[in-house]
Structure 1
Amino acid sequence: MKRTLRAVLGAALLMLSTSACGLTVNAALPFEVQPGSIRPVPELQGVDVTVGSKDFTEQIVLGYIAELALEAAGANAVDLTNINGSNSARYALVDGQIDLQWEYTGTGWLSYLGYDKPLPDETQQYEAVREADLERNGIVWLPYSEVNNTYAFATTEAFAEQHNLRTTTDMANYLKQNTQDAVFCVETEFASRPDGMPGVRKMYDFPVTTTKTFGTGAIYSAIAGGTCNFGEVFTTDGRIAGLNLRVLEDDKKFFPQYNASVTVRKEFLDRYPQIADVMAPVAAALNNQEIIELNKQVDVDGRDPVDVAREWMIDKGFIS
């Protein structure tokens, strides 16, 4: 079975309906996808499934992983990854311009459904957003993965080992005795948001001697280079592995849970319920350690996201 990840004719037709909304179907990249543990599904043979994603590395890699899984099952994956902005990607799903995409439970709960407070337990957060989004918007959340792209503080592995730091509580206790080391690098917004530095300081009760503000990408290198001892990071960023940083566990669960889950419109999943079975083992195989490495290969090593996704799917035996 020789396929392309993107259906050229379908892409051309879809572009006519999506270009007005700023969406662009990506150029075709010929790719052979052979079944592995994901076997052909008769009900999905030749079915066009348009896969979207947001415009950052992790989302694009996850989008390609979904496309490869669907192709192995016999569907015709149309690539609409790399949509500019969370709201645009969400609208594309709700509006039917894409059929499925990976989404984060915390984003769904706080940004799309408009709740003020997250639920600290990841299972409870998933179940709450799954129920509410289905009822309000007809969006189905398939079983979530262990990928949890939330906020945390990080330091270098060397500093963490030297001072026996594994959790945010460890950090707080250390800084109370060593206030000269309470130097933090954070984003400007994080420095003042209630669910950022003010809130987390209140919960963990740690001192801050100096706060330095950076863009998101610069914080990782600032930590690694000694500009600050601690910095705000996203827990699945590939630069964590690339720069040998240690993420400190948010042991009091202050930050929202952002577990990744495939989201699909109910009417589409009702027509093709087999999609849930295809994606279930893929979601189960993903966790923070896996996605950090995949993100690193793109952001640090400079590899193409589709090659990284394909290699992972082969290594896991999902495709051949």
Structure 2
Amino acid sequence: MAPTTRPTPSPDPRPGRGRRRTARLGLAGAVASASLLALTGCGLQPATAFVPAVAPGSIEPIEGLPDDASLTVTAKNFTEQLVLGKIAVLAAQAAGFEVTDLTNVPGSVAVRQLMLDGDADMTYEYTGTAWLTYLGEAAGIPDQQEQYEAVRDADVANGLTWLEPAPLNNTYAMAVRSEAVPELGDVATLSDIAALPVDQRTFCVEAEFNSRADGFAPMLERYGLELGDADGVPTGNVSILDTGTVYEATDRGTCNFGEVFTTDGRIDSLDLTVLEDDQGFFPAYNAAPVLSTAVLDEYPDLADVFDRISPELTDEELRQLNLSVDVEGREPADVAFDWMVEKGFVTRP
């Protein structure tokens, strides 16, 4: 994406910024200490505030940046967020900031509160999460650009600025084991399921997805199928499984179609094929850099730093990065660092 030109701000006369930073450091220490005890959302790897040292690449120190310029980066405590958070930490360091690493915070609401209170300056957030959870809207918007614009515009009043979103859209999907695709008539979209014989319309889903107002039954209805109907999807065709077991069950052939998240590394490690949501049922959950508007006004060149990175963050890229952590057991910081070097954003010192 082309860099966005913003005027250089005058020196910040706002009172209390120093006091806010002092208070922030105390809170940051407390949260970071708690985070050392937390595991990632997939339950595999603990995260710490460690990141490898970096040297500039295509991201270079911002010209005229004060020596004491600082940035606090926060992220939630599951694998993808840890990787994205470490990417942000490394990018900010390469841009010349002293970075406080507040990644691995338990829960979306806690991260949101850090941003609203000014105790964190930057995070990667999902458009659908902000729209439904933080802003309290009743339904998500499937169109990715429309969902982004709605969240961006609404959060202005909260002192938060959303930069352009990444292509990655971590939303619900249905997947099938790849070797079964030709057996099922080269199924490629959710609409194709309705053309299959009833006995081949078998599903593995989690209990939450099965009961959500925007979950399994409404999805089937959108695609012309009724849950519990003998000519649609009989209840006997549905396996309700514990969280984390759907992927393996789908791979074993327990069902033909399993509920997945589009950026989960197990999609690649188990060679599953994601079906296209061709009727646009699932809400958009694109990740985007979100910054404190006050901090972005102070350091407007930060927008260019993160706008360089976002176009490279696709579903396919995140599946591989998540796989490196969840399947291969690597540290999120090392995975983020190697990716940043591979893309040329930073270099090894």
Alignment TM-score, normalising by the size of structure 1: 0.90
d(CA) in 1 for partners of 2:64 and 2:81? 27
Assess if the C-alpha contact under 8 Å between 2:51 and 2:333 holds in 1.
Answer: no
Equivalent residue, structure 2, for 1:153: 174
Deviations 1:151-192 (A, max 9, x none): 011110111233201111112222xxx111222111111112
d(CA) in 1 for partners of 2:35 and 2:325? 21
1:189-208 equivalent positions in 2, closer than 5 A: 189-206=208-225, 207-208=232-233
Deviation at 1:120, TM superposition (A): 2.2
C-alpha spacing 1:205/1:217, structure 2 compared with 1 (3 Å): same
1:9-88 equivalent positions in 2, closer than 5 A: 14=24, 16-18=26-28, 24=34, 29=50, 31-44=52-65, 45-88=67-110
C-alpha spacing 1:231/1:102, structure 2 compared with 1 (3 Å): same
**What are the ranges of 5 or more consecutive residues in structure 2 without an aligned counterpart?**
1-20, 37-47, 226-231
Equivalent residue, structure 1, for 2:8: none
Equivalent residue, structure 2, for 1:261: 288
d(CA) in 1 for partners of 2:155 and 2:49? 33
Assess if the C-alpha contact under 8 Å between 1:186 and 1:231 holds in 2.
Answer: yes
14-23 vs 165-174, which deviates more?
Answer: 14-23
d(CA) in 1 for partners of 2:22 and 2:251? 45
1:1-320 equivalent positions in 2, closer than 5 A: 14=24, 16-18=26-28, 24=34, 29=50, 31-44=52-65, 45-135=67-157, 137-163=158-184, 164-174=186-196, 178-206=197-225, 207-209=232-234, 210-320=237-347
Assess if the C-alpha contact under 8 Å between 2:84 and 2:336 holds in 1.
Answer: yes
d(CA) in 2 for partners of 1:266 and 1:23? 27
Deviations 1:28-60 (A, max 9, x none): 536321001111113445422111101110000
d(CA) in 1 for partners of 2:85 and 2:49? 15
Aligned residues: 306
Assess if the C-alpha contact under 8 Å between 1:18 and 1:24 holds in 2.
Answer: no
Equivalent residue, structure 2, for 1:8: none
Assess if the C-alpha contact under 8 Å between 1:73 and 1:278 holds in 2.
Answer: yes
Deviation at 1:250, TM superposition (A): 0.5
Deviation at 1:267, TM superposition (A): 1.1
C-alpha spacing 1:121/1:12, structure 2 compared with 1 (3 Å): same
Deviation at 1:144, TM superposition (A): 0.4
Deviation at 1:242, TM superposition (A): 0.7
- Higher relative CO (Cα under 8 Å, sequence separation at least 6) belongs to 2
Assess if the C-alpha contact under 8 Å between 1:238 and 1:293 holds in 2.
Answer: yes
Deviations 1:235-255 (A, max 9, x none): 000100011001101011100
C-alpha spacing 1:198/1:14, structure 2 compared with 1 (3 Å): same
Kindly name which structure, 1 or 2, has the bigger radius of gyration based on alpha carbons: 2
Deviations 1:76-114 (A, max 9, x none): 221111110111111111112211100001111111111
Equivalent residue, structure 1, for 2:45: none
Q: What SS is found at the alignment partner of 1:143?
A: coil
Assess if the C-alpha contact under 8 Å between 1:15 and 1:24 holds in 2.
Answer: no
d(CA) in 2 for partners of 1:12 and 1:154? 48
d(CA) in 2 for partners of 1:86 and 1:305? 19
d(CA) in 2 for partners of 1:263 and 1:51? 10
Assess if the C-alpha contact under 8 Å between 1:102 and 1:262 holds in 2.
Answer: yes
C-alpha spacing 1:28/1:181, structure 2 compared with 1 (3 Å): closer
Q: What SS is found at the alignment partner of 1:49?
A: strand
Q: What SS is found at the alignment partner of 2:329?
A: coil
- Letter of the 1:192 counterpart: S
- Letter of the 1:276 counterpart: A
Tell me the C-alpha RMSD between the 2 structures: 2.0
Deviation at 1:201, TM superposition (A): 1.0
Q: What SS is found at the alignment partner of 2:244?
A: helix
Equivalent residue, structure 2, for 1:7: none
Alignment TM-score, normalising by the size of structure 2: 0.83
Deviations 1:224-270 (A, max 9, x none): 11121111110000100011001101011100000000111111111
d(CA) in 1 for partners of 2:156 and 2:33? 25
C-alpha spacing 1:30/1:23, structure 2 compared with 1 (3 Å): closer
79-88 vs 210-219, which deviates more?
Answer: 210-219
